[in-house]
Amino acid sequence: MELRSKPITGKLVDLQKEIEGYALEYGLDFFPQIFEMCDYDTINILAAQGGFPSRYPHWRFGMDYDQMSKGYKYGLQKIYEMVINTNPCYAYLLQVNNWVDQKIVMAHVYGHNDFFKNNLWFSGTNRKMMDVMANHGTKIRRYMEKYGIDRVEAFIDRALSLENLISVNELFETAELKRRRSEINKQAASESEEDYINDDRSEALKSFMRSKKRRSEERTRVTTKEEKKELVLPKKVPPKPERDIMQFLINFAPLEEWQADILGLLREEAYYFLPQRLTKIMNEGWASYWHSTIMTQKALDASEIIDFADKHAGVMAMSRKQMNPYKVGIELMRDIEYRWNTGRFGKEYNDCDDMVEKENWDLKLNQGREKIFSVRRTHNDISFIDEFLTPEFCERQQLFTYKYNPRTGRYEIDQKDFEAIKSKLLIQLTNFGSPVIEVEDGNYRNRGELLLGHRHDGVDLDMNYAADTLQNIYAIWTRPVNIKTRYDDKEVVFHFDGHQMKPIH
Amino acid sequence: MDHPIKRDHARFRKIVKGRVRDNLRKYISHGQQIVPKGGDKFTVPMPQIDTPRFKFGDKSQGGVGQGEGQPGDPVDGQQDPNGEPGEGEAGQDEGSKELEVELTVDELAQILGEQLELPNIQPKGKKSLQSTVDKYSTIGKTGPDSLRHIKRTYKEALKRQIALGHYDPNNPTVIPTKGDYRYRAADTKIEMENSAVVIYMMDVSGSMGDEQKEIVRTESFWINLWLKSQYKDIEIRYIIHDATAKEVDENTFFRTRESGGTLISSAYSLCKQIIEADYNPSEWNIYPFHFSDGDNWSADDTKLCLELLDKFIVPASNMFCYGQVESRYGSGQFYKDLSSKYGAQHDEVILSKIKNKDGILDSIKEFLGKGN
């Protein structure tokens, strides 16, 4: 495949050296950085493919490309830059950008690169994802040759409908942890099953005794109906509600090998992108903090200030309809830096009742920089907002919550109260903005049906979407699929039998 | 070699063809889907295929925004000029892709043409219609400030200063005075155009209900849109008829309450009169459209209609289009009469049955698909 971007040359190479020097001086710690130059069509392609030059064939990339090209054509949107979480870290510059733009982008990219390398949520991501993505492409193309494009594509369409049914906790599951957990589970299972042979006889003996006991039971038992049911009831699968539904289906759905393989590939890609969805505010805030710092303190020529201010203001534009992660991110980073420089944190400061004293509070700690470096290492958006959002910050940043007013038929500003804003933000960020759905039972009602549970936290599911999603899961599970949720304030289980969805209790 | 994404793109377009048609149908059946935004601008959503996922029902959800305002102020009242900030690692965004673009009527017609694969019309007759076009192609010394040509003005000022010796290269200040001002000025040109007229005839007898009229209205909107994109100047005449016919303006045409019986010939003879009076068939491209539910009063009248068509209207027109809107009361006989005379396939007489709102698009394709 033809790669349509070229390594940067000439003055830009010198510029990179300069910016990299500043980044190092400030203590940023990053993967080797590679900049490539491309034209607009290429950056649209890359953006449509999630930043990667090669993906599996699928219409959705074509759709995104279609929209980006049109968006550009009608002058609605413009991509400045793209950076990918790999080692070495690739970033793409746009040919038509002017010199100041390139400077800003480079400085910004070093911020992202440092974040990718150091933020713990990214620690499990595969840094060789370029190759992995390309391999996925090759594999899926091969399956398409073998089984037909339509068939494979239809399966991918279904699998993509499950893309958000993964578990955040899985990001920290190392192979070792997994092995140990499965051992513990196995042990627990065998213990509960056979608690009467709780002694130190050998495993072989125990196993022998078990089979002996079972046979004698079978012979002697006069089974009543009730008991029969108990007997055939197999071990519950999964033992605990399981959030990684993609993995559950790979393990237990009656898939053909190629289907299981594709589901696995897509799951891997979903997990690769997950940390970026968990750290949008922090990641953009951090990168913006550094482009702004590097530019204003080091890299900016006096003649470029207006251009820089213009571009920077564009990126930081506030929107009444949605929170701009760049703006909130950078301001919160700066706020933390300021608070830790002046010592405005901790019990003593919080307990201070004297407004004047509080206003002029300055312990001259100068721990701000150090603090934000450690924040960027350990936090994700949820803990970032939870720990560092303050009432003063919300007021200064003019944050508010809005909601739909059915009477006027429009969205209206609701509250400017700190607690309301914070809880709204946290709700939106919880589980990367997706409803929490778990597999509760793989043999629901003892009919081999799947039971999903929605952990309702105040917002109902969109039932039209849910019905279509259930249809896709049904196609994979091949038996009826149920979802337990709350709808209109009532506990309800919706049952999808392959044709329609209806409530069963 | 093309990038593989072009294949993904082609695939997407192919899938969407079916889908977009549905979408387009939706716009057509409820005309308000296309929002006129003043002037020639329209807002049309982009084609998109949604992958179903578990998600929150969003109306109740709301969100967090940033900016001036007090509780109760609407948040979507003002447009965010910068939209979504430009940077970002794609692939992680879940956000809405409902990009809306403003389209001019021309672009809308182009989309329609693309979707329906409509051929461009080959106009007949010579270019006979004179139209005057004002183009700002010259420069004048007087004019309104809004048309001031700044570059020319400064050039004049510079010339004057150099000529007078007031220009100092070390301090290059150029100050225009009143006499230096130059303005863009219009030049009137006469262009020759093909001229076209559309004559809409509609049956407003008792059997044509509101739903049927809505279909005619929507269909005529799209037909006008397309023909306007093909002819620079186009005249539109409206005739309504029950047992008698009269010419009306657009508003009346779509609003008239139904009454009485039906004599289709009355409309056709009025159509003939209009053509004879105002539109010389050798110079005009003439498009008569007739919409009815297919009920005519008598077989004799139908005979008269066919005669009028045969002798005059069809030879005079580029094509004659008859659209039969299905109604509960109509017998649909007139369609059969026409098709037994002209056949279902005829280049100059095009017949189409419109079952319901969803049938509008297919019917437009039947009418305009020939390129006459």
In order of their start, the domains of chain B are 1-49+98-103 (no CATH), 129-191 (no CATH), 195-368 (3.40.50.410)
**Contact: B53, A401; criterion CB under 8 Å:** no
Q: Which helix (H) or strand (E) covers residue A452, if one does?
A: strand A449-454
B195-203 vs B284-292, strand pairing mode: parallel
Q: What is the pTM of this model?
A: 0.66
d(CA B30, CA B35): 11
pLDDT band at B179 (very low <50, low <70, confident <90, very high): confident
B9, B54, B80 ranked by CB distance to A66: nearest: B9
Helices (H) and strands (E) in chain B, counts: 10, 12
pLDDT of residue B22: 43
* E-assigned strand segments in A124-242: none
**Amino acid in position B98:** E
**Contact: A76, B99; criterion CB under 8 Å:** yes
B3, B81, B87 ranked by CB distance to A45: nearest: B3
pLDDT band at B330 (very low <50, low <70, confident <90, very high): low
The alpha-carbon gap from B257 to the nearest alpha carbon of chain A, in Å, equals: 33
SS3 B366: helix
pLDDT of residue B362: 78
pLDDT of residue A137: 95
Contacts of A50 in chain B (CB under 8 A): 89-92
B8, B10, B84 ranked by CB distance to A58: nearest: B8
CA-CA-CA-CA torsion sign (A144, A148, A153, A156): negative
**Contact: A67, B75; criterion CB under 8 Å:** no
pLDDT of residue B99: 44
Contacts of B92 in chain A (CB under 8 A): 50, 273, 276-277, 280
- Cβ contact A372:A379 at 8 Å: no
A47, A322, A462 ranked by CB distance to B57: nearest: A462
**Contact: B67, A318; criterion CB under 8 Å:** yes
Is the pLDDT at B319 greater than 90? The verdict is no
A80, A326, A435 ranked by CB distance to B55: nearest: A435
pLDDT band at B126 (very low <50, low <70, confident <90, very high): low
Q: How many CB atoms lie within 10 A of CB A7?
A: 10
pLDDT band at B21 (very low <50, low <70, confident <90, very high): very low
Contacts of B66 in chain A (CB under 8 A): 318-320, 323-324, 327-328, 397-400
Chain B, 39-78: which have a CB under 8 Å from a chain A CB? 46-49, 51-78
Measured in degrees and rounded to the nearest 5, phi and psi for residue A365 equal -75, -35
Is the pLDDT at B108 greater than 80? The verdict is no
Residue B115, phi-psi category: left (phi > 0), alpha (psi -120 to 50), beta (remainder)? alpha
> CA-nearest residue of chain A to B46?
A67
**Contact: A472, B60; criterion CB under 8 Å:** no
Task: Compute the count of residue pairs across chains A and B with CB atoms less than 8 Å apart.
Answer: 257
Is the pLDDT at B41 greater than 70? The verdict is no
The alpha-carbon gap from A347 to the nearest alpha carbon of chain B, in Å, equals: 29
A76, A398, A414 ranked by CB distance to B101: nearest: A76
Query: What is the percentage of chain B residues whose pLDDT exceeds 90?
Result: 7
Measured in degrees and rounded to the nearest 5, phi and psi for residue B260 equal 60, -170
- Cβ contact B134:B188 at 8 Å: yes
Contacts 24+ apart (CB under 8 A), B253-260: B253/B200, B253/B202, B254/B213, B254/B216, B254/B217, B256/B204, B257/B204, B258/B204, B258/B205, B258/B206, B258/B207, B258/B208, B258/B209, B259/B204, B259/B205, B259/B206, B260/B205, B260/B206
**Contact: A321, B51; criterion CB under 8 Å:** no
B183-193 vs B129-140, strand pairing mode: antiparallel
The DSSP code sequence of A35-77 is EEEE-HHHHHHHHHTTT-S-----HHHHHHHHHHHHHHHTTS-
**Contact: A76, B83; criterion CB under 8 Å:** yes
Is the pLDDT at B44 greater than 60? The verdict is no
Closest CA to A312 of A301, A333, A326: A326
pLDDT of residue A206: 56
pLDDT band at B105 (very low <50, low <70, confident <90, very high): low
d(CA B247, CA B245): 7
A51, A161, A322 ranked by CB distance to B89: nearest: A51
Q: Which helix (H) or strand (E) covers residue B236, if one does?
A: strand B233-241
Q: Which of A253-262, B86-95, B253-262, B326-335 has the lowest mean pLDDT?
A: B86-95
> CA-nearest residue of chain A to B67?
A398
Contacts of A74 in chain B (CB under 8 A): 101-102
pLDDT of residue B355: 81
pLDDT band at B32 (very low <50, low <70, confident <90, very high): very low
Q: pLDDT in tens for each of the 505 residues of chain A?
A: 455 788 999 999 999 999 999 999 999 999 999 999 998 889 999 999 999 989 999 988 998 898 788 777 665 667 777 999 999 999 999 988 889 999 999 999 999 999 999 999 999 899 999 999 999 999 999 999 999 988 898 899 889 999 999 998 888 876 666 777 777 767 666 655 554 445 555 555 555 555 555 555 555 555 445 544 444 445 678 888 999 999 999 999 999 999 999 999 999 999 999 999 999 999 999 999 999 999 999 999 999 999 999 999 988 988 888 889 999 999 999 999 999 999 999 889 989 889 899 889 999 999 999 999 999 999 999 999 999 999 999 999 999 999 888 888 788 899 999 999 999 999 889 888 899 999 999 999 889 999 999 998 888 898 888 988 998 999 999 999 999 999 888 899 999 998 888 898 7
d(CA B193, CA B128): 6
| Domain boundaries defined on chain A | 6-119+279-303, 317-430, 434-503
Measured in degrees and rounded to the nearest 5, phi and psi for residue B349 equal -120, 115
- Cβ contact B258:B206 at 8 Å: yes
Q: How far separated are the first and last CA of chain A, in Å rounded?
A: 54
- Cβ contact A109:A34 at 8 Å: no
| Residue indicated by tokens 């413009």 | A78
B71, B75, B86 ranked by CB distance to A415: nearest: B71
Q: In sequence order, what are the residues at sequence separation of 6 or more whose Cβ sits closer than 8 angstroms to the Cβ of residue B334?
A: B264, B292, B294, B295, B296, B302, B305, B322, B324
d(CA A262, CA A260): 6
- Cβ contact A286:A376 at 8 Å: yes
| Alpha carbon separation from A242 to A178, A188, A248, A298 (Å, rounded) | 14, 18, 8, 50
Q: How far separated are the first and last CA of chain B, in Å rounded?
A: 39
DSSP character at residue B148: B
pLDDT of residue B244: 84
SS3 A492: strand
pLDDT of residue B59: 52
**Contact: A62, B72; criterion CB under 8 Å:** no
| Residue indicated by tokens 């047992």 | B243
pLDDT of residue B283: 80
**Contact: B75, A413; criterion CB under 8 Å:** yes
pLDDT band at B65 (very low <50, low <70, confident <90, very high): confident
pLDDT band at B26 (very low <50, low <70, confident <90, very high): very low
Contacts of A58 in chain B (CB under 8 A): 8
**Contact: A66, B12; criterion CB under 8 Å:** yes
**Contact: A400, B65; criterion CB under 8 Å:** yes
